Chain A
Amino acid sequence: MRRFLRPGHDPVRERLKRDLFQFNKTVEHGFPHQPSALGYSPFLRLMAIGTRSGAIKLYGAPGVEFMGLHEENNTVMQIHFIPDQCQLVTLLDDNSLHLWSLKQHSGASELREEHRFTLKGPPGSPPSATQITAVLPHSSREVLYLGTESGNIFVVELPSFRVLEDRTITSEAVLQRVPEDYCNRRSCELVEALREHPKNPDQILIGYSRGLIVLWDLQNNKVTHHFLGSQQLENLYWQRDGSKFISCHYDGSYTQWPVSSDNRQPEPLENLVPYGPFPCKAISKIYWQTTKNGLPYIIFQGGMPRASYGDRHSISVVHGSQQTAFDFTSRVIDFFIIFSSEPTAEFDDPSAMVVLAEEELVVIDLKTAGWPAVHPPYLASLHCSAITCSHHVSNIPLKLWERIISAGSKQNIHYSNMPWPIDGGTNVAPDPPQRDLLLTGHEDGTVRFWDASGVCLHLLYKLSTVRVFLTDADPNDNMNTLGEDEWPPLRKVGTFDPYSDDPRLGIQKIYLCKYSGYLAVAGTAGQVLVMELNDEDAEHVVDHAEADLLQDQEGYRWKGHEKLKTRDGPVRFEAGFQPFVLVQCQPPAVVTSLALHSEWKLVAFGTSHGFGLFDHQQKRLVFVKCTLHPSDQLALEGPLSRVKSLKKSLRQSFRRIRRSRVSSRKRRGGSGNASEVQEANAKFDQDALQEMELAPVQRKIEARSAEDSFTGFVRTLYFADTFLRDSSRHCPSLWAGTNGGTVYAFCLRVPPAERRMDEPVRAEQAKEIQLMHRAPVVGILVLDGRSTPLPEPLEVAHDLSKSPDMQGSHQLLVVSEEQFKVFTLPKVSSKLKLKLTALEGCRVRKVTVANFGSCKTDDYSENDLAVLTNLGDIQIISLPFLKLQIRYPCIRKEDVSGIASCVFTKYGQGFYLISPSEFERFSLSTKWLVEPRCIVDMPEVTSNNHMHNKSGIENAARKS
Chain B
Amino acid sequence: EFRRFSLERSKPGKFEEFYGLLQHVHKIPNVDVLVGYTDIHGDLLPINNDDNYHKAVSTANPLLRIFIQRKEDADYSAFGTDTMTRKKNVLSNVLRPDNHKKKPHIVISMPQDFRPVSSIIDVDILPETHRRVRLYKYGTDKPLGFYIRDGSSVRVTPHGLEKVPGIFISRLVPGGLAQSTGLLAVNDEVLEVNGIEVSGKSLDQVTDMMIANSRNLIITVRPANQRNNVVRNSRTSGSSGQSTESSLPSSTPNILANFLQGEEESDEEDIIIEDSGEPQQIPKAAPTSESLESLTQIELLHESTQNGFLPSSEMNLNHSAGSVSMEYEVQDPDHKSLEEDGTIITL
Residues of B within 8 A of A893 (CB): 202
Which of B150, B270, B276 contacts A765, CB < 8 Å? B276
A residues adjacent to B (C-beta < 8 A): 2, 5-7, 551, 620-625, 629-630, 695, 697-704, 706, 762-773, 775, 818-819, 821, 823-824, 828-835, 837-843, 870-871, 881-883, 893
Q: A624-B345, A703-B144, A703-B214 are in contact. Are A838 and B194 (CB under 8 A)?
A: yes
Q: A697, B150: Cβ atoms under 8 Å? A: yes
Residues of B within 8 A of A824 (CB): 285
Query: Is B293 close to A, CB under 8 A?
Result: yes
CA distance A269 to B257 in the complex (A): 101
Q: A770, B268: Cβ atoms under 8 Å? A: no
Task: List 15 contacting pairs A-B, 8 Å CB cutoff, sorted by A.
Answer: A551-B345, A695-B170, A701-B214, A703-B144, A766-B274, A767-B275, A768-B272, A828-B274, A829-B284, A830-B270, A830-B282, A833-B268, A834-B298, A838-B209, A882-B294
A-B pair count, CB < 8 Å, reads 175
Q: How far is the CB of B114 from chain A (nearest CB, A)?
A: 21
Residues of B within 8 A of A766 (CB): 274-275
Q: A770-B334, A823-B282 are in contact. Are A841 and B209 (CB under 8 A)?
A: yes
Which of A768, A829, A841 contacts B205, CB < 8 Å? A841
Q: A828-B282, A830-B282 are in contact. Are A698 and B338 (CB under 8 A)?
A: no
With most chain A CB atoms within 10 A of its CB, the pick from B171, B272, B297, B333 is: B272
Q: A823-B282, A838-B209 are in contact. Are A7 and B271 (CB under 8 A)?
A: no
Q: A5-B293, A771-B270 are in contact. Are A703 and B171 (CB under 8 A)?
A: no
CA distance A839 to B301 in the complex (A): 9
Residues of A within 8 A of B297 (CB): 7
Residues of A within 8 A of B82 (CB): none
Q: Chain B 263-290 against A: per-residue CB contact (8 Å), 1 yes, 0 no? A: 0000111111111100100111101001
Residue ID in chain B nearest A6 by CB atoms:
B293
Chain B 307-341 residues near chain A, CB threshold 8 A:
333-334, 337-338, 340-341
With most chain B CB atoms within 10 A of its CB, the pick from A625, A771, A835 is: A835
Residues of B within 8 A of A883 (CB): 294
Q: How far is the CB of A188 from chain B (nearest CB, A)?
A: 55
Q: How far is the CB of B230 from chain A (nearest CB, A)?
A: 24
Q: How far is the CB of B214 from chain A (nearest CB, A)?
A: 4
Residue ID in chain A nearest B219 by CB atoms:
A701
Residues of B within 8 A of A698 (CB): 147-149, 170-171
Q: A765-B275, A838-B212 are in contact. Are A699 and B207 (CB under 8 A)?
A: yes
CA distance A630 to B337 in the complex (A): 9
Which of A701, A704, A771, A871 contacts B207, CB < 8 Å? A701
Q: A829-B284, A830-B270 are in contact. Are A841 and B208 (CB under 8 A)?
A: yes
Residue ID in chain A nearest B176 by CB atoms:
A702
Residue ID in chain A nearest B178 by CB atoms:
A701
Which of A551, A767, A832, A871 contacts B274, CB < 8 Å? A767
With most chain B CB atoms within 10 A of its CB, the pick from A621, A773, A883 is: A773
CA distance A339 to B161 in the complex (A): 68
Q: How far is the CB of B110 from chain A (nearest CB, A)?
A: 28
CA distance A819 to B215 in the complex (A): 14
Task: Add 13 more A-B contacts to A624-B347, A703-B144, A833-B298 (CB < 8 A).
Answer: A7-B293, A699-B206, A702-B145, A706-B334, A765-B344, A772-B271, A824-B285, A835-B298, A837-B208, A840-B196, A841-B204, A870-B204, A893-B202
Residues of B within 8 A of A551 (CB): 345
Which of B143, B145, B196, B215 contacts A773, CB < 8 Å? B215
B residues adjacent to A (C-beta < 8 A): 137, 143-150, 170-171, 194, 196, 201-215, 267-276, 279, 282-285, 287, 290-291, 293-295, 297-298, 301, 333-334, 337-338, 340-342, 344-347
CA distance A625 to B347 in the complex (A): 11
Q: How far is the CB of B264 from chain A (nearest CB, A)?
A: 12
Q: How far is the CB of B73 from chain A (nearest CB, A)?
A: 40
Residues of A within 8 A of B282 (CB): 769, 823, 828-830
Residues of B within 8 A of A870 (CB): 204, 208
Residue ID in chain B nearest A843 by CB atoms:
B208
Q: A699-B148, A841-B209 are in contact. Are A772 and B272 (CB under 8 A)?
A: no
Residue ID in chain A nearest B296 by CB atoms:
A7
Residues of A within 8 A of B213 (CB): 838
Which of B214, B273, B285, B347 contacts A702, CB < 8 Å? B214
Q: B209, A829: Cβ atoms under 8 Å? A: no
Residue ID in chain B nearest A771 by CB atoms:
B270
Which of B204, B298, B338 contacts A699, CB < 8 Å? B204
Residues of A within 8 A of B276 (CB): 765, 768
CA distance A883 to B297 in the complex (A): 10
Q: B291, A832: Cβ atoms under 8 Å? A: yes
Q: A621-B347, A699-B148, A767-B273 are in contact. Are A706 and B333 (CB under 8 A)?
A: yes
Q: How far is the CB of B24 from chain A (nearest CB, A)?
A: 43
CA distance A840 to B193 in the complex (A): 10
Residue ID in chain A nearest B330 by CB atoms:
A772
Residues of B within 8 A of A833 (CB): 268, 295, 298
Q: A772, B270: Cβ atoms under 8 Å? A: yes
CA distance A497 to B237 in the complex (A): 77
Which of B145, B202, B271, B285 contacts A770, CB < 8 Å? B271
Q: A704, B290: Cβ atoms under 8 Å? A: no
CA distance A882 to B269 in the complex (A): 19
Residues of A within 8 A of B170 (CB): 695, 698
- 3 nearest A-B pairs in the assembled complex, by CB-CB distance: A841-B205, A703-B214, A837-B212
CA distance A840 to B338 in the complex (A): 31
CA distance A765 to B275 in the complex (A): 6
Q: A835, B212: Cβ atoms under 8 Å? A: yes
CA distance A729 to B33 in the complex (A): 56
With most chain B CB atoms within 10 A of its CB, the pick from A623, A763, A823, A837 is: A837
Q: How far is the CB of B306 from chain A (nearest CB, A)?
A: 15
Q: A769-B271, A772-B268, A871-B205 are in contact. Are A699 and B147 (CB under 8 A)?
A: yes
Q: A697-B203, A767-B273, A770-B279 are in contact. Are A702 and B144 (CB under 8 A)?
A: yes
